[in-house]
Amino acid sequence: MLSKNGMSLKDVKVVSLEPQPAAQAFVAGQNDAAMTYEPYLSTVRANPAAGKILATTLDYPMVMDTVGCAPTWLKANAKAAAALTKSYFDALDMIKADPAKANELMGAAVKQSGEQFAKSSAYLRWQDKAANQKFFAGELTSFMKEAAPILLEAGVIRKAPEDFAATFDASFVK
């Protein structure tokens, strides 16, 4: 978002906070900006006088959660990795089939009621298998190429990959 608006990390002071404290600090006026995610983003949404939400996963599709496994683990545990992937898609089926039960389960994990979680999750995109396939077929690589200079500047990576596609295994969503 910074680079898309003609800025860089040199233009801001970065302080690392966990997602919930970041939202709380922003609402309390302790910082000028914060990056967080649902359900903590709803803390900001519930306090419009504290500031404005600039982007969510609905506006900027590269704000995402991913599942990562070490390549050696994937090779040694291909069946478990396939089951993990299938369980994600099964969860999406449950969200569609029984949203109240799904919201209760997911809300409990973040100390919210099902109703509270349903409100905050309305701002999330749940990526089904087709969306995952599209994402891994090209969207991810494009995003990684765009993100690499920023990650280099931030010191998160020391060198950009020569082959971005070599950094992920999309076989489990095919």
The model's pLDDT over 62-117, given as tens digits with 9 standing for 90+, comes to: 656 778 899 999 999 999 999 999 999 999 999 999 999 999 999 999 888 999 99
User: What percentage of the chain exceeds 90 in pLDDT?
Assistant: 47
pLDDT band (50, 70, 90) for residue 124: confident
Q: Measured at the alpha carbon of residue 41, what is the angle toward residues 35 and 8, in degrees to the nearest 5?
A: 15
Residue 101, pLDDT score: 97
Our CA angle for 159, 160, 165, nearest 5°, is 140
Which residue is it, tokens 């910074």? Answer: 2
Non-local (6+) Cβ contacts of 14 within 8 A are: 154
Cα dihedral value 56, 59, 62, 66, nearest 10: 50
Q: Examine the pLDDT at 169 and tell me if it is beyond 80.
A: yes
pLDDT (tens digit per residue) in 42-69: 888 889 999 888 887 777 666 567 788 9
Give yes or no for a contact between 94 and 101, defined as CB atoms under 8 angstroms apart: yes
Task: Write down the pLDDT at residue 146.
Answer: 86
Contacts of 68 (CB under 8 A, 6+ apart): none
Rounded to two decimals, the pTM is: 0.71
Mean pLDDT (the chain, rounded)? 89
The one-letter amino acid code at 122 reads A
> Which residues does 69 contact at the CB level (< 8 Å), separation at least 6?
77, 81, 84
